Structure 1
Amino acid sequence: MLYWGQLFFSKKGVDDMRIFLACGSYLLQLMVWVAVLRLWVTSRSRIKRERRSFGSAVYSDHYELRHFLTQGIVLGLGLSVVNVLVGFSLPLLWIAIYEILAVITLVILPTTVLPLTLIVVSSLATYFGGPYIKNLPSLAPTGLSWANGWSSQIPPQNYLWLAAFFFLILGHWLSRYGGRFTAPRIYAKQRGKRIAGYPWREFLVLPMVTLVPGDWISSHWAFWPLLTVHGHSFAILVVPLLVGLRFTVFRQVPRDVYQRLAKKMIWLAAAGLIFFGWSIHRGQDLPLLLVVLLVGYAIILWRAKRYDAQQQFWYSQVDDGVRVLAIRPQTPAVKLDLAAGDIILECNHQAIDSETSFYEALLRNPTYCHLKVRNMAGELKVTETAIYSGAPHEIGIVLFRDQEG
């Protein structure tokens, strides 16, 4: 880190308009718009799939884009404040490699976001590209050099700082939003019955303020704001940082799964900060420490998937009743104290065994719903609520649809 926040601004300071233009340049970066397009396509595909599977979408709004805009900006501002206070910097070469790889990933692997892998690969390429690997392609046409990634102005432990904050942000995000939007997806049959899973396919792009050494940016855009730090010039740049996770829950309560994962992400963040301190004294260990974090992250996700696969429960169809898969927001079902995985045994005192029989039972009293339910723990309960007069299909309970034929 650059002297841990001991920033000394030039006498002229930084013009407010220049800073505004530098921040606005974030919106001109290709990665940002590719991410927006990819997330819009993902959200639109989810809504269309839910309409095919359940008659209407569980969440009809593009909540993925809403989180992208709100959470991405809020978390990005928080990270940017910390980075400015400590004088966090990255070489322009790292930024170029990272954004190119991120764009390729978002286009070619749209459902498999690998944000930590992008950070580690970009860091290793920048770290080794200068002094260790020979005969690399020339970057002369771009005005950059492989040596840009190996500079006394950029402490190598900055890459570990970035990885640590990636885990911290991911853990916070999972803790707050993981499992809150349980939109089910129907998968292949299990022992002759359809099953549902709960995929997480969201990601964020955080606007992260960082300092970039050298004069490459200012030589191309004279208006760009610069800081003078101990005699060295740094450009202020807002870099898009990708944060995301790909995970599907089949046999547990999604909220519980993501709460456990969130805690483990926080532990990885703590490990990253410890590694950061270690690398200050032993910078040569940086590549190994980055790989250890990546492997640890992969092991945590693998163990979480394996634990889910070992559970006996399935979100599957049942013979005695109908399985609740989700509750649509802002519908009467919200007041019914139901949860995904519950089995509705009776509706209005009539035994049911399919979606059709459920709605037929609702029609017996089209303004009220009385349910007998067995939850995931096997406990029985009774719940009831008023429903929209003459519109029992709008109660908001998402079930397996009856198969035709």
Structure 2
Amino acid sequence: MESWVFELLKGVGRLFIHPVLYVTLAVAVVLGYFRVKRERYDFLIRIEYGLTEFQKACKSLLIGIALSVFTIGIGVILPFGTIVLLGLFTILFTLFIKPRLLSSAYIFGFAFLGVILLPNIETSISLLQSLFVSIAGTDLSTLALLMGMLIVVEGLLVWKQASFQTSPMLHKSKRGLPVGSHVVQRVWILPLFLFVPVTSGGITTYFDWWPVLQVGEHTLTIWLVPFAVGFYQHLRASLPKVTIPILGKQLFFLGLLVFLISASSLLWATSAIIAAIVAIFGRGWLQYRTRIQEDRQRPLFVQRDDGLVILGVIPDSPAEKMNLQIGEIITKVNNIPVKTVPQFYEALQKNRAFCKLHVVDINGEIRFAQSALYEGDHHELGLLFIQEGRKWKRAEVS
């Protein structure tokens, strides 16, 4: 028991020598930087502070450690070479700064290809040849089960978290009219405890000090391996709190399907490869279908004749305290009908101590939102609208 406890503690320490941890956190910082830059360009103010993406990536560390109860419980074993291969594909995809490429379906799907092809390659470079030998010991069923589990978790993260703190943006339609949209960009880190077999081509060949565990006839070591998960969606015709949870549920059930197919590979080995194919094409199809649906529908955040549609709500502002939501339409301010942003500001100045709004919610029902205004409150209530005269960002990080 003492050796297991010490090995677990050392496994946690190994998390901090894995480059995927730092590369993914760096991507989170970069995403936050470009988001704030775009928001200041479009609205002259940032919506969320720049380290929001970084903070969310760090919080998911605890989720991954909790999932390790499963990976240790069923004894998930991955060769050192396969862990290196997964890390290389993760780092390669992060270089594009495109969170959608960091889906477990893509990372593991390409890793499957590497596991099948690389052991057949012979090279004179001893380090590479040792890694190829190590990769050859990969159990495809284990790799597929781990992929299915991570896609399930990816779906849950998108379902429960991705629809919050989305970023509004402005752009021009094909007719040159102002249009608003919302961008969802997230990266998470899920560290999992895995057993790594010690072989002649494994870890201890290069690091004599590496501690090991003796489990029956197998010599194993434990490593807390970080897995990066990313998500991206650009919404023009629907609300984030409506569309993103639906996509998250679809991802969740895709993960369950992949996991079940992977489980059948314990009886029929070819099922593991089928699971990888289903994961790659299933994830791509969900992304493609959502984008096509957005393109076919009319934009939601446009100028209207019946009021002002709310494109964004600044945190800790009077608008947030009044529970105003993205997508709701303000038809009257202090009983004065408003159709343009200047009219909204003029009506707001009619009573500087109190504000009463007529609001049409996302279900088409009329409600009233009112609040006292105090010195120091945001002079525009903290609402963002589509309006003429703004500059538009023509490029975005995706």
Fold agreement, TM-score > 0.5:
yes
Identify the match of residue 200 of structure 1 among 184, 187, 191: 184
For 2:134, the equivalent position in structure 1 comes to 148
Aligned positions of 1:6-45 closer than 5 A: 13-14=3-4, 16=6, 18-45=7-34
One-letter amino acid of the structure 2 residue matched with residue 245 of structure 1: F
For 2:327, the equivalent position in structure 1 comes to 341
For 1:5, the equivalent position in structure 2 comes to none
1:295 to 2:281 alignment: yes
Give identity over the alignment, percent.
Answer: 21
CA shift, 1:320, in A, is 4.3
TM score, norm. by length of structure 1: 0.88
What is the RMSD computed on CA atoms of the aligned residues? 2.4
Identify the match of residue 116 of structure 2 among 113, 127, 131: 127
For 2:61, the equivalent position in structure 1 comes to 73
1:366 to 2:352 alignment: yes
Aligned to 1:210, what secondary structure does the other structure show? Answer: strand
CA shift, 1:290, in A, is 0.9
Separation (CA, whole Å) in 2 of partners of 1:101 and 1:347: 53
For 2:395, the equivalent position in structure 1 comes to none
Aligned to 2:389, what secondary structure does the other structure show? Answer: coil
For 1:53, the equivalent position in structure 2 comes to 42
CA shift, 1:13, in A, is 2.9
Aligned positions of 1:249-328 closer than 5 A: 249-328=235-314
CA shift, 1:164, in A, is 0.9
Separation (CA, whole Å) in 2 of partners of 1:268 and 1:104: 24
Structure 1 222/288 Cα, relative in aligned 2: closer, same or farther at 3 Å? same
Aligned to 1:304, what secondary structure does the other structure show? Answer: helix
1:358-396 superposed Cα distances (whole Å, 9 cap, x missing partner) = 222212211211112233444433321112336552522
Structure 1 138/242 Cα, relative in aligned 2: closer, same or farther at 3 Å? farther
Separation (CA, whole Å) in 2 of partners of 1:252 and 1:236: 45
Separation (CA, whole Å) in 2 of partners of 1:372 and 1:160: 53
Is there any run of 5+ residues in structure 1 with no aligned partner, and where? 1-8
**Alignment check: 8 A CA contact 1:344 1:371 kept:** yes
One-letter amino acid of the structure 2 residue matched with residue 63 of structure 1: T
CA shift, 1:296, in A, is 1.5
1:338-364 superposed Cα distances (whole Å, 9 cap, x missing partner) = 221222222122233333332222122
**Alignment check: 8 A CA contact 1:75 1:169 kept:** no
Identify the match of residue 78 of structure 2 among 83, 87, 90: 90
For 1:403, the equivalent position in structure 2 comes to 389
Identify the match of residue 156 of structure 2 among 168, 172, 185: 172
**Alignment check: 8 A CA contact 1:366 1:389 kept:** no
Aligned to 1:23, what secondary structure does the other structure show? Answer: helix
CA shift, 1:32, in A, is 1.5
CA shift, 1:61, in A, is 4.9
1:108 to 2:92 alignment: no
CA shift, 1:143, in A, is 6.3
Structure 1 58/145 Cα, relative in aligned 2: closer, same or farther at 3 Å? closer
Pairs aligned (count): 388
For 1:352, the equivalent position in structure 2 comes to 338
TM score, norm. by length of structure 2: 0.89
Structure 1 315/218 Cα, relative in aligned 2: closer, same or farther at 3 Å? same
One-letter amino acid of the structure 2 residue matched with residue 79 of structure 1: L
1:6-55 superposed Cα distances (whole Å, 9 cap, x missing partner) = xxx8xx73362x54333122122222212111110110211122122122
One-letter amino acid of the structure 1 residue matched with residue 337 of structure 2: A
Identify the match of residue 388 of structure 1 among 367, 371, 374: 374
**Alignment check: 8 A CA contact 1:354 1:402 kept:** no
Aligned to 1:14, what secondary structure does the other structure show? Answer: helix
